[in-house]
Amino acid sequence: MRNFLKFLDNFELYISYVLIVVLTILLTFQVFNRYVFHETFVWLEEIVRLSFVWMIYFAVAGAARANAHIRVGLIDLILPPAAIRVLTVFADVISIGFCVTVVWFGIQLVESSHRYGSVSPVTDVPMSLVYSVIPVCFTLIAIRTTQAIFAETRKSDASDSTHTAPLE
């Protein structure tokens, strides 16, 4: 059970790792065919492009899990720790709002492309499947950001409970 929970905790990164290996193998195969046999596979390029997009979205979700997104570090130098915690939670709440908005419009995009039967030009992969990465990964980002908020509030609760008034 513990291994399964660890797998779930790193789910986004594992998918990114698998996709980067697949991309490397497919691109190596494509380059080999192009320069040795003077043959290219158009379908392979489309699969690589779609896999690359999926890998990026899952890597972004993995970065959200690790709390590794870009932020302004100068604020950490000039604000007191309590203000930094409040500002961090505030920024995370705004990020969650953005993620919810993207999930909402992403679901509409997936439904629309499914309704109209959109398919990719070469491989005939349903575009609804391709676009589904948007709501899935932004949901993961919102979940991971919510976890970060809870971790931040637990950290601040723990630090507040360790500070006691000095004895006189």
157 has pLDDT over 80: no
Residue 40 belongs to what domain range?
2-161
**Number of residues in the chain:** 168
Give the count of beta carbons closer than 10 Å to the beta carbon of residue 151: 11
Q: Evaluate whether residue 168 is within a structural domain.
A: no
Computed over its alpha carbons, how large is the radius of gyration of the chain? 22
Closest alpha carbon to 135 in 113, 104, 111: 104
DSSP three-state, residue 32: helix
The better pLDDT of the pair 135, 45 is held by: 135
| C-alpha dihedral sign at 139, 61, 59, 19 | negative
Contact indicator for 53, 133 with CB cutoff of 8 Å:
yes
Residue 152 counted as domain residue? yes
Count the domains in the chain.
1
Give the pLDDT confidence of 5-37 residue by residue, as tens digits.
677 778 888 999 999 999 999 999 999 999 998
- Here the tokens at position 131 are 């676009």
Q: Tell whether 166 is covered by a domain.
A: no
Q: Does pTM surpass 0.85?
A: no
Residue 73 belongs to some domain of the structure: yes
Residue 134 maps to a domain: yes
> Could you tell me if residue 63 is inside a domain?
yes
Helices marked H in the chain — which ranges? 2-9, 11-36, 42-65, 74-78, 81-115, 127-131, 133-162
| Distance, CA of 40 to CA of 152 (rounded, Å) | 51
Q: Give the pLDDT confidence of 105-146 residue by residue, as tens digits.
A: 999 999 999 999 999 998 999 999 999 999 999 999 999 999
Closest listed residue to residue 55, CA positions, set 98, 13, 105 = 13
Q: How far is CA 106 from the centre of its chain?
A: 14
Q: Is residue 167 part of a domain?
A: no
